[in-house]
Amino acid sequence: MIPAAFEYYAPATVEEALQLLRELGPEAKLLAGGHSLLPMMKLRLSTPKALVDIGRIPDLRYIREEGNTLAIGATTTHWMIESSEVVRNRVPLLAEAAGRIGDVQVRNMGTIGGSLAHADPAADYPAAILALEAEIVAQGPRGKRSIPAAEFFKGLFTTALEPDELLVEVRIPVPVEKSGAAYLKFPHPASGFAVVGCAALLTLDGGRCQKARVAFTGVTEKAFRDRAVEDALTGKAPDEKTIASASQKAAEGVEPLSDIFASAEYRKHLAKVFARRALMAAASRAH
Amino acid sequence: MAVTRVFGARIKRREDPRLITGTATYTDDIVIPGMCYTVIVRSPYAHARIKRIDVERARKHPGVVAAFTGKDLEGKVNPIPCAWLIPGSDLKTPPHPALAVDRVRYVGEGVAVVVATSRHAAADAASLVEVEVEPLPAVVNQEKAMQPGAPQIHDGVPNNVAFHWKVSSGDVGRAFQEADVVIRQRMVNHRLIPNAMEPRSCVAAYNRGSGDLTIWMTSQNPHIHRVLLSGILGIPEHRLRIIAPEVGGGFGSKIPCYADEAVVAFCAMQTGHPVKWGEDRRENYLATAHGRDHIVDLEVAAKKDGTITAIRGTCYANLGAYLSTAAPGVPTILHGLMMCGPYTIPNIDYEVYGIFTNTTPVDAYRGAGRPEATYYVERLVDMVARKLNMDPVEVRRKNFIPKDKFPYTVATGITYDSGDYEASLETLLRIIDYPNFRKEQEKAWKEGRYLGIGFSTYVEICGLGPSQVAGAVGFQGALWESALVRVHPTGKVTVLTGASPHGQGEETTFAQIVSEELGIPIEDIEVLHGDTEMIPMGWGTYGSRTTAVGGAALFVACRRIVEKGKKLAAHLLEASEQDILFEGGRFFVKGAPDRAKTIQEVALQAYLAWNLPAGFEPALEATAFYDPPNFTYPFGAHACIVEVDPETGTVKIRRYVAVDDCGRVVNPLIVDGQVHGGLAQGIGQALYEYAYYDDFGQLLTGSMSDYAVPKASQLPPFETARTETPSPHHPLGLKGVGETGTIASTPAVANAVVDALQPLGIHHIDIPLTPPRVLAAIRQAQGR
């Protein structure tokens, strides 16, 4: 459990970090909370020549309310998000997802930007981020750009970020009134990662779903929004029967992951169960 | 005056402040000037012929002091021996080289070692060792390994069968012919990884001038390690010192004599540097012995009234690639002989095949053979109950050995010392309010909720053990224990025990025994262990023997102190020795309690020796070597209440109640702690933990993020209670409690899950009862 030798840089600003990335090239890796990268380095599965530690950039750690948007800095920890009054009040779905990550130690160190950029297929945030239709802000030599969540996750540990870009902020539109949301997960008994995680967000209008958002993590090699389930709910009253029938459409036509703990078939089955449970919880909270 | 008894008091563990404040010294904390670090290079192949190992690049790496391969060790480090040679089984003991020379037989087997001036240099250099191999087909499953045409792992071990052992008694054939019901079931008791909190570690220091070798190591039995390593390394026993500093748990995995410690000692002797080695967790998973791993075909015969008349079975025990130190004894002596459970089953026919596979060697893991036996017997009892439409509690009662029949010799030939099985079961039923639960269950079933209860009424063999029996069953050692009690001139006491506690709390319980026996305050008593140069020969800590055997030795030594003290007190008090009584730390004259000397005063006089009776030796200390006349047989009744989520297969434990009888209890707090830890591991086996190899011999559960050691949040609150049936042959009536929780709990959980799913007609699901596995059984039963 001893990593190969590496150089360590601790920039004080985003600009400095970007400069280092440019100078060091592809053999450098960004270090945030270190909860994904360091274990891989200790196993020598990852042997970067240099680490650029963005965890010491004070300007990247914040939670701000900007009108109807919540802006969260990249190195904001899971614990800060889970316990933030403003997140809990305005975007409870995100606080709920943050609170289900790993354990207290992990949540004290791990960061939202690190988790999203790592794009672990079983991470918790991606489902919430997708359901909330958040935007991910990347900064690079060409300046800042905003990536919609739906376009961010490209595949297994792969995102829309360019190698010279830094994820600097997550922007979450605050759900309108009469919305209800829930994140439910079936954790792996050892790792705590989501075997299946489902984020559901319902916005009601006159007792009917004006908008339904359902996103999964853990099921396939990248988190995804399940439009079939969403469509089956839109315009309908979210009663038990409608939700049950919509949930049956979950994870259809996708290729689920399979491992020694849970087969693809089991994951697919769980997706339907957790879609129903998450939607029922979301419906009960929508008022 | 109210006297608070020390024996039986809930005293907090005296060892805990240093453990929980980070001030304890573990092996890895030891630093010696000039110390180097080693990394053992391990095979990534499960089975391969070694064509070439080149350590030249590693040797040239900055900071590297030396690098060795198996060839360098030849003639200098003898093969690693097996120390439990079970008789009558045609046991094969193929050589186990400390570093592989021409073949590797499991992933994790050592092939080379690098010594460097820093951990980092050693790790970097280890990655430069070049190993060229010709991969061979591997076999990981014991049944497949026995098949014709399977890869042959050792020369001279046809079909990979290391031994065939059998216990047989009564007329099993007739019992099955005359049975009203016969149930056949194949069961699997899967492989587990012990997961001691502290991985294995050692530091070896060799003095070339004196020829003395000292090894600090994570050992449960330093004296056994000294004897074995003396033979492996060719170092005379009196030149070899083994020290077990603070040891962070073992659960059996620190009993065996591994190759690694011998390799590290060899490095120290070759380089002249003190050398340190420590496993990381991944290495621990590959290189430290695993536990369990049986496949068993079982049959039970019973009468209509629930009387169980016979058990027949064939067990295929996976031993891994080499015979670990105690491996052959675990699935035979410690397992097969316990196949009667707490029942009067008169006919037994049980055979065990021990089989080599291309996996990490298997040895004792908490319970070692008894959890497996208890699991099979308790599952069979439930199956009989189900088939006869009887209450599982009634079938147990029907077959219990009655309390007035002890000592009772069961069909397998061992004699249980004492028991009152009915009493522990009654206590349990009262706590869980059994009739009410069944009503609640009926209601739940009607609502489509799957609520169930599982019982486990167990007996286990511990307090290992009478040395004569140890010899008769092929254990290459004895099983008595030593204790030395030294009362210092100022009346303070040092206790040296040959047992080697590593988390069990004997620094507290042994002090309680001494305090009780000598009337000396507990804070004046220190318990030392784990250093072969300081401690009289002893056999260590395993098999729930430390308090059961070591505690008895301590009691005998204390009695010797009192006898000696009486002689001196009589002299000092000018009374006859027969008239001296000893109570509460005072020697006094019968009928004249004011004519007294405290034990502290007597101790001082014993050391000053100014005025001793004729022929009285100075000093006040005593040593005892206690060989128990029999094993002890703790027992109890556990119940687990679960609810199964039929949509996901998740098992939620709603209640767990453990009623244990471990004889008299020295410290209820510590007994509770032992039970809690054992339950966590037994429930872990039932629901979460399993070591999984793929067909190529790769351990796919190779880290804690794949192998599910249960966390507190995955366990229920535990309810514990006790009955107390003293062991009649133990001087303090103790039995031992280190393994009961692990032994009893796995079948309680499994029985509960099957009970919950009764409405679906499910009769058995193999452990571990993971959600996907339970859901698959549910869906199969529902015809989906």
Which domains does chain B possess? 31-136+197-249+254-287 (3.90.1170.50), 368-460+631-781 (3.30.365.10), 480-626 (3.30.365.10)
Q: How many CB atoms lie within 10 A of CB B164?
A: 14
The band of B1, judged by pLDDT with boundaries at 50, 70 and 90, is very low
Instruction: Give the residues across from B294 on adjacent strands.
Output: B189, B317
What pLDDT is recorded for position B387?
A: 98
Q: How many CB atoms lie within 10 A of CB B177?
A: 10
Under DSSP, is residue A229 helix (H, G, I), strand (E, B) or coil? Answer: helix
CB contacts of A103 in chain B (<8 Å) are 711
Identity (one letter) of the amino acid at A69?
Answer: T
**CA count, 13 A, side-chain hemisphere, B524:** 19
What pLDDT is recorded for position B403?
A: 97
Is A25 a residue whose pLDDT tops 50?
A: yes
Cβ-Cβ contacts under 8 Å for B371 (sequence gap 6 or more): B189, B292, B682, B685, B739, B742, B743, B746
* Distance (Å) of CA B124 to CA B43, B118, B238: 17, 10, 37
The band of B655, judged by pLDDT with boundaries at 50, 70 and 90, is very high
> Both tokens of residue A268?
């697919």
Q: What is the DSSP string of B641-668?
A: EEEE-TTT--EEEEEEEEEEE-BS-S-H
CB contacts of B769 in chain A (<8 Å) are none
Q: In terms of CA atoms, which chain B residue is nearest residue A272?
A: B647
What pLDDT is recorded for position A1?
A: 80
Distance between CA B614 and CA B340 in Å, rounded? 57
What pLDDT is recorded for position B465?
A: 93
B713-756: pLDDT as tens digits: 999 999 999 999 999 999 999 999 999 999 999 999 999 999 99
Q: Do B700 and A5 touch (CB under 8 A)?
A: no
Quick one: what percent of chain A has pLDDT higher than 70?
100
What pLDDT is recorded for position B610?
A: 97
What pLDDT is recorded for position B784?
A: 75
Is the Cβ–Cβ distance between B766 and B188 less than 8 Å?
yes
Is the Cβ–Cβ distance between B378 and B636 less than 8 Å?
no
Q: Do A189 and B124 touch (CB under 8 A)?
A: no
What pLDDT is recorded for position B2?
A: 44
B276-287: pLDDT as tens digits: 999 999 999 999
What pLDDT is recorded for position B110?
A: 98
Among B704, B770, B775, select the one facing A261 at the smallest CB separation.
B770
What pLDDT is recorded for position B4?
A: 59
Instruction: Give mean pLDDT, residues B475-483.
Output: 97
Under DSSP, is residue A1 helix (H, G, I), strand (E, B) or coil? Answer: coil
CA B548 to chain CA centroid, Å, is: 14
pTM across the whole model: 0.97
What pLDDT is recorded for position B5?
A: 81
Is B3 a residue whose pLDDT tops 70?
A: no
CB contacts of B708 in chain A (<8 Å) are 188-190
Instruction: Give mean pLDDT, residues B769-783.
Output: 97
Among A44, A103, A190, select the one facing B706 at the smallest CB separation.
A190
Q: Do B706 and A44 touch (CB under 8 A)?
A: no
CB contacts of A186 in chain B (<8 Å) are 648, 650, 771
Instruction: Give mean pLDDT, residues B348-357.
Output: 98
Is B70 a residue whose pLDDT tops 60?
A: yes
Instruction: Give mean pLDDT, residues B169-180.
Output: 98
Among B706, B710, B772, select the one facing A263 at the smallest CB separation.
B772
The residue count of chain B comes to 784
Helix, strand, coil in percent for chain B, rounding step 5: 30, 25, 40
Instruction: Give the residues across from B629 on adjacent strands.
Output: none
Name the residue among B285, B294, B288, B231 with its Cα closest to residue B254: B288
Among B127, B281, B700, select the one facing A260 at the smallest CB separation.
B700
Q: What is the largest CA-CA distance in chain A?
A: 61
Is B218 a residue whose pLDDT tops 80?
A: yes
Mean model confidence pLDDT for chain B? 97
Q: Do B127 and A263 touch (CB under 8 A)?
A: no
Q: Is the dihedral of CA B436, B440, B445, B451 positive or negative?
A: negative
ipTM of the complex: 0.96
Name the residue among B86, B39, B93 with its Cα closest to residue B67: B39
Identity (one letter) of the amino acid at B323?
Answer: L
**CA count, 13 A, side-chain hemisphere, B194:** 31
Q: In terms of CA atoms, which chain B residue is nearest residue A270?
A: B648
B93-131: pLDDT as tens digits: 999 999 999 999 999 999 999 999 999 999 999 999 999
Among B127, B650, B772, select the one facing A261 at the smallest CB separation.
B772
Quick one: what percent of chain B has pLDDT higher than 90?
99
Q: In terms of CA atoms, which chain A residue is nearest residue B693?
A: A260
Distance between CA B3 and CA B571 in Å, rounded? 29
CB contacts of A188 in chain B (<8 Å) are 705, 708
Quick one: what percent of chain A has pLDDT higher than 90?
97
How many A/B residue pairs have CB atoms within 8 Å? 52
The H-assigned helical ranges of B139-218 are: 142-146, 172-177
Is A143 a residue whose pLDDT tops 50?
A: yes
What pLDDT is recorded for position A287?
A: 76
**CA count, 13 A, side-chain hemisphere, A225:** 19
Identity (one letter) of the amino acid at A124?
Answer: D
Backbone φ and ψ of B352, nearest 5°: -130, 130
Distance between CA B216 and CA B532 in Å, rounded? 11
Is B537 a residue whose pLDDT tops 50?
A: yes
Distance between CA B554 and CA B480 in Å, rounded? 12
Is B75 a residue whose pLDDT tops 60?
A: yes
Q: What is the DSSP string of B448-505?
A: T-EEEEEEEEEE--BS---HHHHHHTTBSS---EEEEEEE-TTS-EEEEESS--SSS-
What pLDDT is recorded for position B584?
A: 95
Distance between CA B512 and CA B561 in Å, rounded? 16
Interface of A with B (CB under 8 A): 1-2, 4-5, 42-44, 103, 186, 188-191, 193, 260-263, 266, 269-270, 273
Q: Do B119 and A262 touch (CB under 8 A)?
A: no
CA B748 to chain CA centroid, Å, is: 20
Query: To the nearest whole angstrom, how far is the Cα of B687 from the nearest Cα of chain A?
Result: 9
What pLDDT is recorded for position B51?
A: 98
Query: To the nearest whole angstrom, how far is the Cα of B43 from the nearest Cα of chain A?
Result: 16
Q: In terms of CA atoms, which chain B residue is nearest residue A271?
A: B648
Q: How many CB atoms lie within 10 A of CB B627?
A: 16
